[in-house]
C-alpha cells in the first residue's frame, strides 16, 4: 500500500512511519515526489495492524496498490522515471540510443563501432561479452577479455557501456567494467539473477522474455526494484508467435501500454524484434512515434562477418542514415534523440 504523507509532514513523521511499517514486517520504500513524500509499504498485506497506519503522524491517506507489481507501478509514482548511466540518459523526453555489435569480437571491432556510433549520435555502446546462445557450440563471448575491450572503448569515446550478465556469480565482475547490466530475454525470469542485479550499483536493462506476459515482465522488474536498484529500464525485443517472416514479432503497443502502468522507461530493440537489417530503420521510427524512451540497435563494421546476429546488424552507413531519419520522427513527437550526457 501507499502511505501518502501530508505536505506539512516533518522528517520525524516520515521516520516514525518507516518504523511503523517495518514494525508490521513490511518493507518501507520512501519516494520523494515533487509535491510530497509517499512511503510504499511492500510485503504481505494481510498482516494485522495495517489500519493503524492511517492514524500515524503526518499521514494524509493510505491507499492500496492494485497492480501486482508495487514499486514499478504508476500508482506508486505518477511521474515517469529517468535512468542515467554515464553518458546515457533515457526518459524525460530524451530518447537514449544504445548501439553496437551483438558480440564483442576484437578490440579493433569494438573501437571502430564505438567511434562510428558516437559520430552518428548514439549515447551508449552495446556489446555482449557473455553471450547466452541457443546452441552450446555457438560462440559464447570473450567474457572478461571482452569486458576489458568495452572498458577501453569507453575510455576513448566516453560512451557508457551496456553489456549482458548471464549469471549471478558474474554480476560483480560485469558491474566493474560496465554502466548498464543487460538482462537478456532468456533470463527475464531468472529470479536469483534479478535479485543479484537488484544489489548492483549499475543501471539495468531488462529485456522481455519472448513468451512472457506484460505482467510477468513488470513483476520481473519488481524483483530488481525490490532489491534496492531503482535504475531500471524495460526493453521490448519481440515475442514468439506463429509468424516466421520475422525472427520475433515486435509488439509496439507494449510501449504506450507499459507507460500507462509503470513509471519505468521503455526501450525498443528493433534488431532482435525483426531479425532483418532491412526492417530495423522502419521499426525504430515506429518505436519513437509510439513513444519509446530509447532504442537498442545492433551495428557491426562488417555484418556479413559478424560472429553473431549479422543478419540483423546494420553497417555504419545504415546506422547513420537510421539516426538521421529517427531524429526527424523524434522532433515530430516533441522528443529529442539523446546525445551523450557529459559525465
Ligand atoms: C542481445 O542483445 O544480443 C541479446 C542476446 O538479446 P535478447 O536477450 O533480447 O535475445
Ligand atoms: Mn544479438
> What pLDDT, in 10s, does the model give residues 283-303?
999 999 999 999 999 999 999
Q: Pick the residue whose CA is nearest to atom 4 on ligand 1.
A: 184
| SS3 category, 323 | helix
Mutate to test the pocket of ligand 1, among 150, 185, 205, 268 (most ligand atoms within 8 A of CB): 185
For residue 52, the model assigns a pLDDT of 85
Q: Are 106 and 301 in contact (CB under 8 A)?
A: no
Q: Is the dihedral of CA 39, 44, 46, 47 positive or negative?
A: negative
Answer whether residue 33 shows pLDDT above 80: no
Rounded Cα gap, residues 133 and 150, in angstroms: 20
Domains and CATH numbers, the chain: 2-63 (3.30.70.1140), 83-337 (3.20.20.70)
The cell numbers describing 284, all together, are 525504430
Rounded Cα gap, residues 263 and 30, in angstroms: 15
Atom of ligand 1 nearest to the CA of 269: 9
The rounded mean pLDDT for the chain is: 95
207 lines ligand 1 (CB under 6 A): yes
Give 265-278 as a DSSP string. Answer: -EEE-HHHHH--HH
Mutate to test the pocket of ligand 1, among 99, 100, 102, 240 (most ligand atoms within 8 A of CB): 102
Percent of the chain with pLDDT over 70: 99
pLDDT tens for 187-210 read 999 999 999 999 999 999 999 999
Answer whether residue 100 shows pLDDT above 80: yes
Size of the chain in residues: 343
For residue 343, the model assigns a pLDDT of 75
Rounded Cα gap, residues 256 and 4, in angstroms: 27
Rounded Cα gap, residues 4 and 12, in angstroms: 15
Phi and psi for 14 in degrees, rounded to 5?
-65, -45
Taking CA 157 as the corner, what is the angle to CA 127 and CA 232, rounded to the nearest 5 degrees? 50
Atom of ligand 1 nearest to the CA of 102: 3
The cell numbers describing 193, all together, are 539473477
Q: Are 297 and 97 in contact (CB under 8 A)?
A: yes
237 lines ligand 1 (CB under 6 A): yes
Amino acid at each position: 500500500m501507499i502511505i501518502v504523507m501530508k505536505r506539512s509532514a516533518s522528517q520525524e513523521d516520515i521516520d516514525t512511519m518507516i518504523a511503523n511499517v517495518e514494525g508490521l514486517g513490511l518493507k518501507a520504500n520512501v519516494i520523494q515526489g515533487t509535491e510530497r513524500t509517499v512511503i510504499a509499504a511492500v510485503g504481505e498485506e494481510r498482516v494485522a495492524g495495517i489500519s493503524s497506519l492511517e492514524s500515524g503522524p503526518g499521514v494524509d491517506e493510505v491507499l492500496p496498490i492494485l497492480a501486482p507489481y508495487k514499486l514499478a507501478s504508476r500508482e506508486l509514482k505518477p511521474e515517469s522515471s529517468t535512468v542515467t548511466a554515464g553518458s546515457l540518459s533515457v526518459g524525460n523526453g530524451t530518447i537514449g540510443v544504445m548501439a553496437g555489435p551483438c558480440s564483442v569480437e576484437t578490440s579493433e571491432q569494438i573501437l571502430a563501432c564505438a567511434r562510428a556510433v558516437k559520430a552518428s549520435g548514439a549515447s551508449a555502446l552495446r556489446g555482449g561479452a557473455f553471450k547466452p546462445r541457443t546452441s552450446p557450440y555457438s560462440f559464447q563471448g570473450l567474457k572478461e577479455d571482452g569486458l576489458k575491450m568495452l572498458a577501453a572503448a569507453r575510455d576513448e569515446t566516453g560512451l557508457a557501456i551496456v553489456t549482458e550478465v548471464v549469471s549471478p556469480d558474474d554480476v560483480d565482475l560485469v558491474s566493474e567494467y560496465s554502466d548498464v547490466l543487460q538482462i537478456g530475454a532468456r533470463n527475464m525470469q531468472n529470479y536469483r539473477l534479478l535479485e543479484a542485479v537488484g544489489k548492483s550499483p549499475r543501471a539495468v536493462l531488462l529485456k522481455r522474455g519472448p513468451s512472457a506476459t506484460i505482467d510477468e515482465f513488470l513483476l520481473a522488474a519488481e524483483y530488481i526494484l525490490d532489491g534496492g536498484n531503482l535504475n531500471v529500464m524495460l526493453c521490448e525485443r519481440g515475442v514468439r508467435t506463429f509468424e516466421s517472416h520475422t525472427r520475433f514479432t515486435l509488439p509496439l503497443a507494449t510501449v504506450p501500454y507499459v507507460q500507462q502502468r509503470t513509471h519505468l522507461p521503455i526501450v525498443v530493440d528493433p534488431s532482435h524484434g525483426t531479425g532483418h537489417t532491412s526492417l530495423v530503420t522502419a521499426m525504430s521510427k515506429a518505436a519513437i512515434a509510439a513513444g519509446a524512451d530509447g532504442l537498442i540497435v545492433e551495428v557491426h563494421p562488417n555484418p556479413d562477418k559478424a560472429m553473431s546476429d549479422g543478419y540483423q546488424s546494420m553497417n555504419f552507413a545504415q546506422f547513420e542514415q537510421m539516426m538521421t531519419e529517427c531524429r526527424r520522427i523524434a522532433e515530430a513527437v516533441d522528443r529529442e534523440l539523446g546525445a551523450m550526457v557529459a559525465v
